[in-house]
Amino acid sequence: MREEYLLAALRMGAGADPVPEGVSAAARAVFRLRVPGGVPAGPVDLAAPPGARSSPATDASSGTSPGTSPGTDAAAGEPGAAGAGDESWRPGAGDGRDNPAHVRRFSAAGLVIDLETTITGGRMEVAGQVSPAPGPDARIEVRTPHVGKVRALSETGHFAVTGLPPGWVSVVCHRPGRPPVFTRWLRVRP
């Protein structure tokens, strides 16, 4: 018997420290985060993180700003939305952010999704790239348990979302006529 299980049982037996209602409510709300028919993209080792915002193949030439593309949700075009082709900042650089960037790669169904997360001013930023670029009708949905933001992708498959609450985050790539692909949930805290 694991010691932690015995301790937990003792705490339950004493009626001490019951689960807060907010934790239960959050658990109930997770149900709506299912992606029916979706394909889970598992993590892939990334020996040399490319930096989603600093790739040589950024969309500086495309002129597309993922945060302001048509068809996005009400949060699209919000002030401060990071452009995917922003070359002024590179992962891990000392630029005043609360912590260094973390880059992770996921893969499934022939897609590679690179994610770069940072916490800036207490808010989470997520930038990334879908490879190969899935086309103009694809949409990317960056989700936390509390909010989801939909973005169109640049011609090179880049996207960026800012102003999210820190915590758990997952990204879903929606492609017309094909199953959505979603990343595993990541915990992003300062």
Closest distance to another protein from the beta carbon of 54 (Å): 21
Closest distance to another protein from the beta carbon of 182 (Å): 7
- The binding track of 21-40 with respect to another protein, each residue x by CB under 8 A or -, is -xxx-xxx-xx-xx-----x
Tell me the C-alpha to C-alpha distance, in Å, between residue 140 and each of 11, 41, 73, 164: 43, 14, 11, 15
d(CA 1, CA 41): 34
147 binds another protein (CB under 8 A): no
d(CA 170, CA 55): 21
Site for another protein in 79-98 (CB under 8 A): none
Site for another protein in 106-145 (CB under 8 A): 145
Beta-carbon-side half-sphere exposure of residue 23 (alpha carbons within 13 Å): 4
1 or 48: whose CB is closer to another protein?
Answer: 1
Interface region with another protein, contact rule CB under 8 A, candidates 4-12, 72-80, 87-95, 147-155: 4-12
Give the interface with another protein as residue ranges (CB under 8 A).
1-20, 22-24, 26-28, 30-31, 33-34, 40, 43, 102, 104, 145, 167-168, 170, 182, 184-187, 189
